[in-house]
Amino acid sequence: MPQPNRVEHQLTDKGYVPVYTTAVVEQPWSSYTATDHEVWATLFERQQQLLIGRASDEFLRQQRLMGMSPDHIPKFDDLNPVLRKATGWELIGVEGLLPELTFFEHLANRRFPVTWWIRKPEQLDYLSEPDLFHDLFGHVPLLMNPVFADYMAAYGRGGVKAHAIGPEALVNLTRLYWYTVEFGLIKQDDGLRIYGSGIVSSKGESIHCLDSAAPNRIGFDLERIMRTRYRIDTFQKTYFVIDSYEQLMEATRPDFTPIYAKLAQLDSFPAGSVQPGDAVFNRGTGEGWLKDGDV
Ligand code: PHE
Ligand code: FE
């Protein structure tokens, strides 16, 4: 059975640096313990309740159609025929975070890497790295939506390209992923809703991102997002709001090469700043913000 040793450390001239495992693994389904299945059930039911009226209609609809249930941890092999039929995507099991280029290549080929192991009961509210609950509950429902599915594959191809251009291009592209796929909001006729997986898999942030006066909520703008730093250790200071998944697809269709070149000459924006030209839904009060730590 694969062990959850996702990160090893290797001594280099920069000291110990983490090395991520790259292995694609069979989901070791029969090795999940009763506790693992209980953690899944608890998180699934808690978030499903909380997300009514908070997650986007499309996220909730696709989640229903996929047929995940709280009864037990889903088998990738049961979900895959449903997903393949809807959009041609499939899930592959992995130990954890992958090297960037490997990750992009999987996405470009419509393979979504899902961490096979699930957090422990004492980690229900916070985990600093993706686990099965985040990957499966958070990311997979929207892969059933044809437009979003195309966006994710295009992102993978864009990632392969950005990787060849250089580290600065990758920083720009990673911010786009962060502020859309992971922490995106969408405007529905009846108000703002969540579609970002980093939010839907977190109880605290599912409430904070919509109800709190602290964060900025700002209309989607590609270059603005590509210049904006973000938080990895606290709730986001800023959320960006799309009008539709089609908007996301259209805005990211152009070749990014000239955009990367232009942005290389410009400063980045602090995570919590409001910029001239922003379409402001909410100007954050900044309550509770830490001064340092934008990445
Ligand atoms: N259009 C982008 C490029 O040329 C690729 C991309 C598509 C990136 C969709 C992100 C999302 O690099
Ligand atoms: Fe994620």
Report whether 37 belongs to an annotated binding site.
no
Strand pairing report for 111-115 and 15-20:
unpaired
Structure tokens at 243: 């009008």
Report whether 287 belongs to an annotated binding site.
no
Number of alpha helices (DSSP H) and beta strands (DSSP E) in the chain: 12, 10
Q: Please indicate whether residue 161, judged by its CB atom, sits closer than 6 Å to ligand 1.
A: yes
Q: Please indicate whether residue 59, judged by its CB atom, sits closer than 6 Å to ligand 1.
A: no
pLDDT in tens, 179-204: 999 999 999 999 999 999 999 999 99
Q: Which CATH superfamily is domain 20-282 in?
A: Aromatic amino acid hydroxylase (1.10.800.10)
**Average pLDDT, whole number, for the chain?**
94
pLDDT, residue 2, reads: 42
Name the amino acid, one letter, at 85: K
Residues of the chain with pLDDT under 50: 1-5
Q: 157, 105 in Cβ contact below 8 A?
A: no
User: Of all atoms in ligand 1, which is nearest to the CA of residue 176?
Assistant: 10
Report whether 9 belongs to an annotated binding site.
no
pLDDT, residue 4, reads: 43
**In a mutational test of the pocket of ligand 1, which residue from 103, 157, 240, 262 has the highest number of ligand atoms less than 8 Å from its CB?**
157
pLDDT, residue 192, reads: 98
Q: Please indicate whether residue 241, judged by its CB atom, sits closer than 6 Å to ligand 1.
A: no
Domain locations along the chain: 20-282
Helical pair 100-108 and 146-165, crossing angle rounded to 10 deg: 140
pLDDT in tens, 123-164: 999 988 899 999 999 999 999 999 999 999 999 999 999 999
